[in-house]
Structure 1
Amino acid sequence: MILVTGATGLVGSHLLLHLLQQGEENVRAMYRNTQSIAKTKHVFELYDVLALFETIQWVQADILDVPALEEAFFGITHVYHCAAFVSFDPKDEKIVRKTNIEGTANVVNMCIAHRITKLCHVSSIAALGESLHPTTPITEQTEWNPELYHSDYALSKFGGEMEVWRGTQEGLDVVIVNPGVIFGRGFYREGSSELFYKVHQGFPFYTTGTTAVVAVEDVVHCMYQLMRSAHKNERYILVADNLENRELLHFIAALLHKKPASFKIGRTGLSIAWRLDALVSIVTRKKRSFTRAIAKASLSCSIYDASKIKQTLSFTFSPYQEFLPNSSTGFN
C-alpha cells in the first residue's frame, strides 16, 4: 500500500490523482482536518474523475504526531512525503523548522521501523547549493555554502534532506526531488497562484531576477516513475524553464488580459520595501507579505539544470507556455 503525506496540498492532491489514474488501487492519504480534504476533492472534480477520489483511504494524522503516524504507516510499503510548511515570515521560523526537519525525521524513522520499500521525499531547489558564478547552472552536485544567507525555509528543507540521507545510512532506499516553483490547478490564491492574483490586481513592479518553474503534473509524473525504477539514493532537480521575472509576469499578464508590470525595482527599493513591510506587520500585527528572504529571491539570477532527470527517465518537461494557461483557472 502507498502512503501520501501532505495529501491535501498542491503536489499531494495531484499525486493522488496520478497514482489512481495509473491504476494504483491501494492508496492511503494523510490529512490534518476534514475541511482540507475538500481541496483535494476539488482537484479531482476539475479533471472530472470524482469516482477515483472515492477510492482513497483517508487517515487523520500529522507528521509531528508520532502515535498517529504509527497508525498511518500500518501495512504501508511505499511512501511519498509531500508534507511541508512553506513560509518566509520570520515569525514562522519555529514551526517551519519543526515541521520540515523534525516532521521529516519522524517520517524517516517510521519508514525504517516499518521496513518501507522506498521513500520519495519532496524537497525544493531552495535546499540546493548556490553557484559561485551567475552564469554557471546549479546542479544536484552544487555544494551548499553555510556561510551564505539562507531563508528559514531553505534551511529547513536542507535540514529535512539531511534526515532523509540519514535514513539511507540505516538501509532505507530513497529518492529526493527538488522542484522549482510549482504551478497547477485547484489552489486559488495559495502558493504559486498568488502570483496570478497579484498580476490580476495590477501589480506594477518587476525585478531583474529569474524564477525556475515547473508543472505539478510533471513533478508527480517524475516522482511516480522514480519510485517504480531501480534508481535510489539520488536527488533530482525538477525545473522546466528558468524565466526572467519580467518575462514571467508579462506572460501571466497577457493570459489575464491585464496591463504588464512596467516599473523595475532594484536592490535599494526592495530593501526599503521589506523593512516597511516589517514595520507595518509590527503595528498592525498582520502576517508579513514581503520579507528579506523574498526580496533576496526576487533578485536571484540562479539557473537550475534539470539534465539529470531528463536523462534518467528520458523525460521532457512541459514548457511554461503550455502549463501556465491551465494554472490561470479562476482568474480569467
Structure 2
Amino acid sequence: MILVTGGTGLIGSHLLFHLINSGKTVRSNYRSKASIEKVRKVFGYYTDDPSSLVEKIDWVQADITELGNLDNLFIDVDYVYHCVALISFDPKDYKILERTNVEGTANVVNLSLKYGIKKLCYVSSIAAIGSNPKQTEVTEENEWNEAKATVYGITKYEAELEVWRGSQEGLDIVVVNPGVVIGPGFWKSGSGSFFTYASKGKKYYIPGGTGFVTVSDVVKAMTMLMESNIRTEGFILVNQNMTYKEFFDKIAPKLEVSPPTKKVSKFMIECFWRWDWARSNLFGKRRKLSKAVAKGLFHKEDYSSEKIKSELDFEFEDLDKAIEFCCDRFIEK
C-alpha cells in the first residue's frame, strides 16, 4: 500500500493518477468531498473515465495537523509520498504555515517511524534552498539563509529538518525541491495563476525569474527515487530557468492574447509592498506582497538539476509542449 498525503493538490493528484495507472494500491487523505472532485477533474484531462480511477483510491478523511486521527492513514502502508503543503507569503500566516508545513510533517515522520514505513518521499520546494550570492546556479549544497527567505520558505526548510531528523532515527527518505510546477487543474493558485493572469491580456509583468518544471517531471522524479536505492538525499527539480517575461511570452500566444510588455518598476514594487503592509495593519486585510517577496522579484535565480540528471540519468520533458497542453486545458475550461 502506498500513502499519498495531499493527494487533492496539483502534485498529489497527478501522482495519484500515475500510481493508479501503474496498478499500485493507493490511499490518500482528503478534507472535503469537494477536494476529491478536483482530483476527478485532473484525471479527466488524461482519461475519458476519471471516476473509475478515483474510485480505486482508498480515501480517508484526515487532517495531518490532527495527530489523533492519523493512525488509520498508516495502517498497512509501506511507502509514503508526503505532498501536503500550505502556500502563503503573508507574514501573518506564519503560525498556520508552521502548523501545516512543520508540525504536519513532524506528524507524518513520527507515524512513518511508528508503522515501520520502508521509505518516505517529501515534496519540499526551491524556496527551502539557499540563494547564491555569487550569481551562479543554485545547487543542493547552497547554505541556507533565513534572513532572505519568505515565511513559506522558512516553514518548508523547517519541515525538511523534520524529515532529516526522521532519517537519523532510521527512516529511509528522499527529498525533492521543485521549482514553479507547471500543470493543469488549479488555475487560481500557484503556476495556474500565471495562466489566469495572462489570459486577461494584462500589460505588466514582474521582473526577475526562477526555475520551472512540469508536474509530470516532478511525479516521474519522485517515483524513480522511491524505486531506487537512493536514500537520505535531496534533489532540485528544475527543467528550465526563465524570467517571468520569458514565461509569459510562451503562454500568451497559446492563449490567443498578447504577452505583457511593460515591466513593473522597482519604484512601483517598493511603493506597493509598503502600501500593502499599511493596508494589512490598518484594516486587517491579507497581504498581497510582503517585503521578502518584493525583494526577491528584483533578480533572477538560476537552479541546477545536474544532481538528479547524474544520479538517475534523468531526462526532463519538453517544457514548451507541457505549456501548450496546459493552455489547451485552460481554454477548454
Given the two structures, how large is their TM-score scaled by the length of structure 2? 0.94
SS in structure 2 at match of 1:236: strand
Change in CA separation of 1:199 and 1:282 when aligned onto 2, cut-off 3 Å:
farther
| Pair 1:150 & 2:163 matched | no
Q: What is the identity, as a one-letter code, of the residue corresponding to 1:21?
A: N
Residue 294 of structure 1 corresponds to 293
Q: Spell out the pairing of 1:91-130 with structure 2 (5 A cutoff).
A: 91-130=92-131
Asked if 1 retains the 8 angstrom alpha-carbon contact of 2:187 and 2:195, the reply is no
Gaps of 5+ in 1: none
Q: What is the identity, as a one-letter code, of the residue corresponding to 1:72?
A: L
Q: CA deviation at 1:265?
A: 2.2
Asked if 1 retains the 8 angstrom alpha-carbon contact of 2:205 and 2:262, the reply is yes
Q: CA deviation at 1:317?
A: 0.8
Asked if 1 retains the 8 angstrom alpha-carbon contact of 2:207 and 2:263, the reply is yes
Gaps of 5+ in 2: none
Residue 85 of structure 1 corresponds to 86
Q: CA deviation at 1:185?
A: 1.3
| Pair 1:14 & 2:14 matched | yes
Between stretches 259-268 and 84-93, larger displacement belongs to: 259-268
Tell me, in whole angstroms, the C-alpha distance in 1 between the residues paired with 2:301 and 2:190: 20
The CA RMSD over aligned residues, in Å, is: 1.5
Asked if 1 retains the 8 angstrom alpha-carbon contact of 2:131 and 2:145, the reply is yes
Asked if 1 retains the 8 angstrom alpha-carbon contact of 2:185 and 2:192, the reply is no
Q: CA deviation at 1:173?
A: 0.2
Tell me, in whole angstroms, the C-alpha distance in 1 between the residues paired with 2:246 and 2:266: 19
Q: CA deviation at 1:280?
A: 4.0
Alpha-carbon displacement from aligned partner over 1:285-318 (angstroms, at most 9, x marks no partner): 5433333233233223111000111122211112
Q: CA deviation at 1:281?
A: 4.2
Between stretches 125-134 and 185-194, larger displacement belongs to: 185-194
Identity of aligned residues (%): 43
Tell me, in whole angstroms, the C-alpha distance in 2 between the residues paired with 1:56 and 1:120: 19
Asked if 2 retains the 8 angstrom alpha-carbon contact of 1:212 and 1:303, the reply is yes
Ranges of 4+ aligned residues in structure 1 off by more than 6 Å: none
Residue 61 of structure 2 corresponds to 60
Residue 317 of structure 1 corresponds to 316
Q: What is the identity, as a one-letter code, of the residue corresponding to 1:207?
A: I
Q: CA deviation at 1:284?
A: 5.8
Tell me, in whole angstroms, the C-alpha distance in 1 between the residues paired with 2:168 and 2:117: 14
Between stretches 277-286 and 179-188, larger displacement belongs to: 277-286
Between stretches 269-278 and 232-241, larger displacement belongs to: 269-278
Tell me, in whole angstroms, the C-alpha distance in 1 between the residues paired with 2:171 and 2:270: 44
The number of residues matched between the two structures is: 329
SS in structure 2 at match of 1:119: strand
